[in-house]
Amino acid sequence: MVTAPFGRRVAAVLSRRLVGPYVVVGVAEEAPVAPGQFYMLSAVEGWGGGADERPFLPRAISALYARDGEVGFLIEDVGPGTHRLCELEPGEEVNLLGPLGNGFTPPDRGVEAILVGGGVGIPPLAMFQERFGGTALVGFRSAGHAQAASLFTAPAIASDDGSIGHHGFVTDLLASVVQERGNVDVYACGPPVMLESVRLILARENMSGQLALEAPMACGYGACFGCVVETVDGYKRVCVDGPVFAAAALA
C-alpha cells in the first residue's frame, strides 16, 4: 500500500475545470496514489469563517487521478469548506496531507471488475478504471450531474429523476449485471444508503466486493476516532483501517 509522505505540505494548484455541477481541481503532487486513497485538503488562503473565527477543518477528498506530477480531486460545493475548494484557481496553494488510507485491491486475472459509483463518490472508481479497467455503473441525481460520467469509459448511467439513462438507482443496474455475468468482483463508492444496498446484493448472491466508505473525518490518520464504523470484527476507523473494506466485513 502507498505510504503518505510525513506531515502536511503546501502544493500549487495546477488546473481547474468544470464537469457539470462539479469542479475538478488538479494539484502538484509526486507521491504515488492508489485508487481509493484520499487526502486531507485545505486552502492556504481564505480557509475559515473570518478573522475572529477558527479555520475550517481540512476536507477528506478521494483522489480522482494521479499522473504526470498532478493529483486531481472532484469536488462538489455543499458547504463553506468545499465552496472554498471549488473556488481554487491555478496559482493558488493548498495544504495536502496524504495519500491516506487503504485503497482497492485489483481482481484476480480473468475476473471482471464491476465499478458502482454514486454522485461525488465516483473518483476512486474512475482512477481504478484508468489503472485496471472494468465496467462502470454510475448513478446521479439528474442529467446535469451525470456529466461527470464523462470521467469513465463507456459507463452505464442511472438517474434519480429519469432524465438520463435508467430511471432509478444504480444498484438496479448492479442487480441485473451480477445475475447475468456471475463471476465478477464489485467495487463501490458512494452514499451510505447506496453502499448498504450494494452490500445486501452481494450477500444475497454470495459474491465478493470492496466498498470505499464515506465518513466525516477531522484528522485523517486515526487520532480522533471520529470516523468509526461497525464491522464483524468490532469498530474500525475509516481513515486508517479503510476507507476500503471487504463488503462481507461490514456489519
Which residue bears the cell 464537469?
A: 19
Alpha carbons 4 and 173: distance in angstroms, whole number: 36
Task: Summarize pLDDT for 113-153 with one digit per residue, the tens.
Answer: 999 999 999 999 999 999 999 999 999 999 999 999 999 99
Percent of the chain past pLDDT 70, that is, above it, reads 96
C-alpha angle 19-129-145 in degrees, rounded to nearest 5? 25
* SS3 state at 166: strand
CATH architecture for residues 112-214: 3-Layer(aba) Sandwich (3.40)
Beta strands (DSSP E) in the chain are 9-19, 22-28, 38-43, 59-67, 70-75, 93-100, 112-118, 135-140, 156-159, 166-167, 184-189, 209-212, 228-231, 234-237, 244-246
Check pLDDT > 60 for residue 4: no
Residue type (1 letter), 215: A
Give the containing element (helix H, strand E) for 179.
helix 170-181
Residues of the chain with CATH 3.40.50.80: 112-214
* SS3 state at 107: coil
Instruction: Answer yes or no: are the C-beta atoms of 27 and 71 closer than 8 Å.
Output: yes
Task: Please report which confidence band the pLDDT of residue 198 belongs to, taking 50, 70 and 90 as the band edges.
Answer: very high
Instruction: Answer yes or no: are the C-beta atoms of 251 and 231 closer than 8 Å.
Output: yes
Task: Please report which confidence band the pLDDT of residue 6 belongs to, taking 50, 70 and 90 as the band edges.
Answer: low
Task: Summarize pLDDT for 89-117 with one digit per residue, the tens.
Answer: 999 999 999 999 999 999 988 889 999 99
Check pLDDT > 90 for residue 39: yes
Alpha carbons 23 and 95: distance in angstroms, whole number: 18
Residues of the chain with CATH 2.40.30.10: 9-99
Task: Summarize pLDDT for 180-192 with one digit per residue, the tens.
Answer: 887 899 999 999 9
Of 7-21, 23-37, 206-220, minimum mean pLDDT range: 206-220
Mean pLDDT of 33-55: 88
Task: Please report which confidence band the pLDDT of residue 5 belongs to, taking 50, 70 and 90 as the band edges.
Answer: low
CATH architecture for residues 9-99: Beta Barrel (2.40)
The set of long-range contacts for 202-205, using a CB threshold of 8 Å and a minimum separation of 24, is: 202/178, 202/247, 202/248, 203/247, 203/248, 205/178, 205/179
Task: Summarize pLDDT for 208-241 with one digit per residue, the tens.
Answer: 899 999 888 888 888 888 899 889 989 999 999 9
The pLDDT, as a whole number, for residue 96 is: 95
Q: What is the DSSP letter of 250?
A: B
